[in-house]
Amino acid sequence: MTGTVPAATVTSREEVCPEETPPGPCAVVILGASGDLTARKLVPALFEVHRRGALPRRFCVLGCGRTEMNDETFRQKVRPRQVTDPGAWERFSDLLYYVPLSYDDPTSYVAMAQRLLQLDALHGTSGNRLFYLAVPPTLYKTAARMLGESSLGKEGPGGSEPWTRLVVEKPFGRDLDSAVDLNRSIHRHFRERQIFRIDHYLAKETVQNILVFRFANAIFEPLWNRRYVDHVRITAAETLGVEHRAGYYEQAGVLRDMFQNHMMQLLALTAMEPPCRFEADPVRDEKVKVYRALRPFPVEALRDHLVLGQYGEGRVGGKPAAAYREEPGVDRNSLTPTFASMKIQLDNWRWQGVPFHLTSGKRLREKRTEIVIHFREVPYSMFRTTLGDSILPNRLTLGIYPEERIFLTFQTKSPGPRLCLREVTMDFHYIEGEDARVMDAYEKVLLDCMLGDPMLFWRQDGVEQCWKFLTPILEECEACRDRADMLKTYPAGSWGPREAVQWGPGALEKPRDGKES
């Protein structure tokens, strides 16, 4: 069963969706501009926004990095491989500049400041600056300090123009102490309102839709609690392996890489109370309340609540895939987990007793990110005598990727003379009926930073609350004597360690193609 909306009831897009207003004048300053992130994500996103006419009319980009380059070589370096509209690229690349930067050398920042003054004069960017830290996390503190000490972090009185903002990518520390220390260092030179901590999951359309779905519809909220919900599964399964990121991943592992940030955001959006206003701080206040409600993990009984795994050799998408320990740059005896499944409880009125199962792993069978609300069973089945106990409870699936869809499963009678039940779904496909293209997460993130809207960014208290929850787990996992024994190997291309599947919390839903692995 597919739910289609009668044309007459669809409100036109203009009525509900105001036009995009381009941000005011500004320069985007990318520190780490010779790196991978700049060429792969930041420049393509800015180019696309420029092509759409959504960038400020007075705008430029200043790339900075250790590599010696001039404006022209920088433009060549970051030119996307496939440009469908070369004219548009020429117009955009005229706005790109470069200055070499040695991160801990004050004279470098003087040169950067001078270049920015010239660009302000040339492009009318009014001294408004967005500093994007696309550098390794070990350089965050140095870069923030040097920007601050060279007065580049200064903003107008009370946050007025000219504004300066600092964009920080995850990881925000590697445990509670380092996160507090990082925040403290950055705060010496930047106020919290100037700091934009990115989580690209928050910029995904389907993730933003969670709050709209929950709070712009009256029918789901009465069911969204312990009375009707049995358990919730939040899954971010990936088919990709560690790729070329072993240097980072070996230190991070799946708990730091996916749980401390993306999984916690998905949890908060699913579990939070309605904020009083749809504004950055009320929304972020409600998220923090969810993190405060996280029941401290019973580290003494870790195995009852957490399964960790690491991928072994296998096949993904029909192709052979190497074991994690065979990947370039990975220690042959590595104990870094690439899979985790944990059972979380929230101590509050709405969710008391409802387990949240959070699962994420690399080199799994499918790329699938979703939140599934499993409702309770019917309290009494009058069909038991004819059908036995086989009535499946309702499920509401919020598909984030690749299926950008929401669907509700429920039971109906199969047509025919006999009483047979069948499970059907009522479906909503996110982009169906829309001509709008789904905006790339980095486009949204960059635009929101330029607009100064922190709604989709982590606030310091949220980061620290999540570390407070995860740090004891990490410490226990990394220090325990049976660490190697805790780490279960799973074949690449499977649904994760057998322990997780049998144990329950990790059990992923049956694949949509119906085939078991």
Contacting positions for ligand BG6 (CB under 6 A): 236, 238, 240, 257, 369, 401
Shortest spacing between CB 466 and ligand BG6, in angstroms:
14
Cα 377 to its chain centre, rounded Å, is 32
- Cα separation, 291 vs 468, in Å, equals 9
- Cα separation, 151 vs 146, in Å, equals 8
In the complex with ligand BG6, which residue's Cβ is closer, 214 or 367?
367
**DSSP output for 112-159:** HHHHHHHHHHHHT-TT-EEEEE-S-GGGHHHHHHHHHHTTTT--SGGG
Select from 196, 316, 201, 330 the least CA-distant residue to 270: 201
Query: Which residues touch 100 (CB under 8 Å, ≥6 apart)?
Result: 64, 65, 66, 67, 68, 69, 108
- Cα separation, 31 vs 216, in Å, equals 40
In the complex with ligand BG6, which residue's Cβ is closer, 371 or 408?
371
- Cα separation, 454 vs 432, in Å, equals 29
Shortest spacing between CB 245 and ligand BG6, in angstroms:
7
Shortest spacing between CB 147 and ligand BG6, in angstroms:
24
How far, in Å, are 33, 334, 365 from residue 326 at the CA level?
31, 10, 19
Residue 262 is a catalytic residue: yes
In the complex with ligand BG6, which residue's Cβ is closer, 375 or 401?
401
Bond into 56 cis (ω within 30): no
Shortest spacing between CB 107 and ligand BG6, in angstroms:
34
Place of tokens 């220690």: 331
Shortest spacing between CB 365 and ligand BG6, in angstroms:
15
In the complex with ligand BG6, which residue's Cβ is closer, 155 or 404?
404
Identity of the amino acid at 458: W
Query: Which residues touch 470 (CB under 8 Å, ≥6 apart)?
Result: 175, 255, 256, 259, 260
Catalytic residue among 262, 305, 357, 374: 262
Place of tokens 């980009």: 61
Task: Quote the tokens at residue 75.
Answer: 């433009």
Residue showing the smallest CB distance to ligand BG6 in the complex: 257
In the complex with ligand BG6, which residue's Cβ is closer, 122 or 240?
240
Shortest spacing between CB 257 and ligand BG6, in angstroms:
5
Centre a 10 Å sphere on the Cβ of residue 254 and count the other Cβ atoms it contains: 24
In the complex with ligand BG6, which residue's Cβ is closer, 89 or 401?
401
- Cα separation, 331 vs 322, in Å, equals 14
**DSSP output for 173-225:** -SSHHHHHHHHHHHHTTS-GGGEEEE-GGGGSHHHHHHHHHHHS-TTTGGGSS
Shortest spacing between CB 238 and ligand BG6, in angstroms:
5
In the complex with ligand BG6, which residue's Cβ is closer, 46 or 364?
364
Centre a 10 Å sphere on the Cβ of residue 57 and count the other Cβ atoms it contains: 11
Under 8 Å between Cβ of 173 and 138: no
Shortest spacing between CB 18 and ligand BG6, in angstroms:
27
- Cα separation, 99 vs 69, in Å, equals 7
Centre a 10 Å sphere on the Cβ of residue 277 and count the other Cβ atoms it contains: 9
- Cα separation, 364 vs 15, in Å, equals 42
Under 8 Å between Cβ of 497 and 489: yes
In the complex with ligand BG6, which residue's Cβ is closer, 198 or 486?
198
In the complex with ligand BG6, which residue's Cβ is closer, 256 or 357?
256
Bond into 402 cis (ω within 30): yes
Shortest spacing between CB 236 and ligand BG6, in angstroms:
6
In the complex with ligand BG6, which residue's Cβ is closer, 369 or 494?
369
Query: Which residues touch 165 (CB under 8 Å, ≥6 apart)?
Result: 129, 130, 131, 194, 195, 196, 449, 452
Shortest spacing between CB 256 and ligand BG6, in angstroms:
9
Question: Which residues are known catalytic residues?
Answer: 262
